[in-house]
Amino acid sequence: MARTVIIEEAGGPEALKLVDRKVGEPGPGEIRIRHKACGLNFIDVYQRTGLYPLTLPHALGMEAAGVVEAVGEGVTHLKEGDRAAYAATPPGAYCEARVMPAAQVCPLPDGISFEDAASIMLQGMTVEYLFHRVWPLETGQTVLFHAAAGGVGLLACQWARSEGIRLIGTAGTDEKCQLALDNGASACINYRDKDFVAEVKALTDGVGVDVVMDGVGKDTFERSLDCLKPLGMMMSFGNASGPVEPVSLLTLAAKGSLKLTRTTLFTFLADHARCQNMAQHLFDKVESGAINVNIGQTFPLEEITEAHRALEGRLTTGSTILTL
């Protein structure tokens, strides 16, 4: 048996329930993994509220790290006793142990702790694909990154610095702006005090940025288009403030033949080889010291409700993990 967090109906943090579930043996292409730590992400909130519907009841959680206990037929990249970490579908990482598909589970280097791994798999591979898979950025280009003091944002700040990319961040307090600067942002705008469009134009001598990376969604999307230079790329990858309203293609034309994409990490992770390559790239960044993991909050599994309240209330900085 394994303690597991489930929802039986969509709703607020109170919908989360901690139950005991039987853990079976892995079938072909599967593993059984015993978790040491699990990560929290906004996609978990989207699933809990029903924005991203699940067939209910369903376990939640998309990333974790632990030790492989058993390996099913056909699995060759992992073996019993291996340290491993993942960001993977289907949801179900908020638990002590589970049986799951093996393809998106990645061998974890000895030099990276379970806690650090659980905090960076989803967020770190999100940054990896934003910088290298959607529209590969080049040294010297400029990015506007919203919520730069969040878990994804702080990794993006460091990633940009390691690649010679100028990152302008936004955040909601001066303290959060300083955190982004400390992690590699070249500038950070407190959007509660200043007009971020005007500030971006001032910081780029009126030209605008090459790319906007926006995980906030509704509140920032439309004005972010005004921050792009002609032929710029808008990467929308999240809905922390709500889903983006429909946009006319004529708007993109009028604002400078802009490019727009709405991406999801799991599209990129669906290919086994690409998933493993993305994870290795992330691990290399961590082990080289280019990326320093920032775990801002830790909650025991039984405090999952409080953890969701903090995450959804934007009361967190860096990454948030559950310990077991």
Q: Which tens digit of pLDDT belongs to each residue from 170-192?
A: 999 999 999 999 999 999 999 99
CA 47 to chain CA mean position, Å: 14
Homologous superfamily of 2-122+266-323 in CATH?
Medium-chain alcohol dehydrogenases, catalytic domain (3.90.180.10)
- The fraction of the chain above a pLDDT of 70, given in percent, is 100
Q: How far apart are CA 2 and CA 134, in angstroms?
A: 38
C-alpha to C-alpha distance for 85 and 49, rounded to whole angstroms: 26
Residues in the chain: 324
- CA dist., res. 43 & res. 241, Å (int): 12
Provide the total of helices (H) and of strands (E) in the chain, helices listed first: 10, 16
CATH 3.40.50.720 boundaries in the chain: 135-262
Has residue 14 got a pLDDT over 80?
yes
Residue 31: helix, strand or coil by DSSP?
strand
Residue 92 pLDDT more than 80?
yes
pLDDT above 90: residue 296: no
What is the number of other CB atoms lying within 10 angstroms of the CB of residue 75? 19
Specify whether the CB–CB gap between 36 and 65 falls below 8 A.
yes
Delimiting residues of CATH 3.90.180.10 domain(s) in the chain:
2-122+266-323
Residue 214 has pLDDT above 90, yes or no: yes
pLDDT tens per residue, range 249-258: 999 999 999 9
> Which range has the worst mean pLDDT, 70-79, 183-192, 224-233, 236-245?
236-245
Q: What is the pLDDT of residues 51-62, one digit of tens each?
A: 899 999 999 999
- How far apart are alpha carbons 162 and 288 in whole angstroms? 10
* CB-based contact 65:82 (threshold 8 Å): no
Query: CA dihedral defined by 23, 27, 31, 34, rounded to 10 degrees?
Result: 10
Confidence band, pLDDT 50/70/90 cuts, at residue 318: confident
CATH 3.40.50.1100 fits 135-262, yes or no: no
Please write the tens of the pLDDT for every residue from 105-116.
999 999 999 999
One-character DSSP codes across 215-272: SS-TTTHHHHHTTEEEEEEEEE---TT-PPPP--HHHHHHTTS-EEEE--HHHHHTSH
pTM of the model: 0.92
CB count within 10 Å of CB 109 equals 14
pLDDT of residue 315: 83
Sign of dihedral through CA atoms 15, 12, 58, 275?
negative
pLDDT over 90 at 302, yes or no: yes
CA–CA separation, 181 and 149 (whole Å): 9
**Pairing state between β 2-7 and 259-262:** unpaired
Say how far apart CA 200 and CA 95 lie, in whole Å: 43
Report which DSSP code applies to 150: B
